[in-house]
Amino acid sequence: MKIISTEQIASGQKVMIRSSLNVSLSENGQVADELRLVRMLDTIQLVHGAGGIPILISHIKNDQGSTLQPVVDWFNNRGFKSELVANYFPYNESIDLSDSDTLYIFENLRDYPGEKANNLEFALALSNYADLYVNESFDSAHREHASIVSLPNLLPAYAGLNFAAEVEQLSKVFTPDRPFTFIIGGAKIETKAPLITKLLDLADKVFVGGALANPLLQASGQEVGKSLLPDQPIDVSNIVNHPILSLPVDFIDQDKQVITLDEVAADSNLLDIGPDSVKALELLIAESDLVIWNGPLGYFEGGYDVATNAIAECLAKTDSYTIVGGGDTLAALGSETESKINWISTGGGAMLDFIESNGELPAISVLN
Ligand code: ADP
Ligand code: MG
């Protein structure tokens, strides 16, 4: 994978950067989560520094509509001269992208069906606007969309600085410093089961908490009461019997009472892991050289956040190398804690797919 550097950019060249501008917005329509924007500033600066003209392309999907104008405003509030470019497909030669002081942002790629359909004509039109391609959208790296897998075949293509750093950091799972502990929580066992299976091969210990633990506990014969379970039962027999799997031993129920495995009743809702489970996890973290965490350990946004906060704090303090990712996980973290984690992954679902696929995501293959 070639990484973008100043040597590859001649002055005046247009550099199309596939970006992650798909941020969440606050109620007043402003950028609410700027992590992915902040993490691409180095690449934008590199392009500007070499005299290149950055053109950002991205999708956005959120409740407030589908325009990238709030992102344009965000850049302008940070001292950029940013401009939204619309109606760029079919190719329109009258669109002027020649001002090297401007940060051009193409309007939502998904306004055009060709993006998700991976349409070659759409990719060709995009390629006509630029001299180079940079992928700085690691969180989209698992998607076979036109701007991710076709466009880089039409231009000299490079990984952006954050993209390359994500690959380097997350590749630690394949040749980890040991002991290596993976903590996985959240929900959606349907999507995370194959990943857990993979992790059982890679790690020395896999702790499963949050709602993700419920179907595993149930499969091992444990009562889980009214706790969150997948709509369709799924086969997790290869997971529950694995020797390096670790599951919670106590919980916080709907009445905020601590209950042990034996005390779970038919009307219990296991909304957080309990203090003994947290203690066991803290010991595990202290013994590990590498700890990776994805997925909250409880229903944190509903106030069942004690375990999630405790583990966040523990990871912030430990000497072990720490990597944390996941949209909801980062939302639970807070910036103070975030700054003490060795690597915060912007990858979301792509982080999990990266591990599951041995690092062979579509966006990476095309850059190689
Ligand atoms: P991430 O986005 O970090 O990958 P997920 O999307 O998989 O995480 O899951 C996050 C969701 O799981 C949150 O809404 C959280 O409240 C929920 N969750 C975690 N544990 C529980 C639980 N014990 N009961 C109900 N919901 C839970
Ligand atoms: Mg999520």
Cβ-contact 278, 312 below 8 angstroms: no
The whole-number pLDDT of residue 147 equals 98
C-alpha–C-alpha distance, residues 311 and 272, integer Å: 12
Instruction: Please report which ligand is nearest the Cα atom of 352.
Output: 1
CA distances (Å), 146 to each of 1, 18, 115, 117, 351, in order?
19, 11, 5, 7, 20
CA 325 / ligand 1 centre spacing (Å): 13
70 lines ligand 1 (CB under 6 A): no
The whole-number pLDDT of residue 237 equals 93
The whole-number pLDDT of residue 334 equals 85
Instruction: Please report which ligand is nearest the Cα atom of 270.
Output: 1
CA 187 / ligand 2 centre spacing (Å): 8
CA 132 / ligand 1 centre spacing (Å): 39
229 lines ligand 1 (CB under 6 A): no
CA 46 / ligand 2 centre spacing (Å): 32
The whole-number pLDDT of residue 61 equals 85
72: tokens are 């344009």
Per-10-residue mean pLDDT of the chain, 368 residues long, equals: 97 98 91 95 97 98 81 98 98 97 97 96 98 98 98 98 98 98 96 96 98 97 97 94 97 98 98 98 98 98 97 97 95 91 96 97 97
C-alpha–C-alpha distance, residues 91 and 302, integer Å: 48
Nearest CA to ligand 1 atom 10: 186
327 lines ligand 1 (CB under 6 A): yes
The whole-number pLDDT of residue 335 equals 85
The whole-number pLDDT of residue 64 equals 62
C-alpha–C-alpha distance, residues 279 and 285, integer Å: 10
Please state the separation of Cα 40 from the chain's center in Å. Answer: 14
CA 138 / ligand 2 centre spacing (Å): 16
C-alpha–C-alpha distance, residues 201 and 207, integer Å: 13
Cβ-contact 328, 295 below 8 angstroms: yes
CB environment 86-120: b (16+ within 10 A), e (fewer): eebbeeeeeeebeeeebbbbbbbbbbbebbbebbe
Counting atoms of ligand 1 from 1, which one is nearest the CA of 298? Answer: 20
The whole-number pLDDT of residue 63 equals 62
Pocket test for ligand 1, best of 192, 328, 338 (most atoms within 8 A of CB): 328
329 lines ligand 1 (CB under 6 A): yes
CA 200 / ligand 2 centre spacing (Å): 22
353 lines ligand 1 (CB under 6 A): no
CA 42 / ligand 2 centre spacing (Å): 27
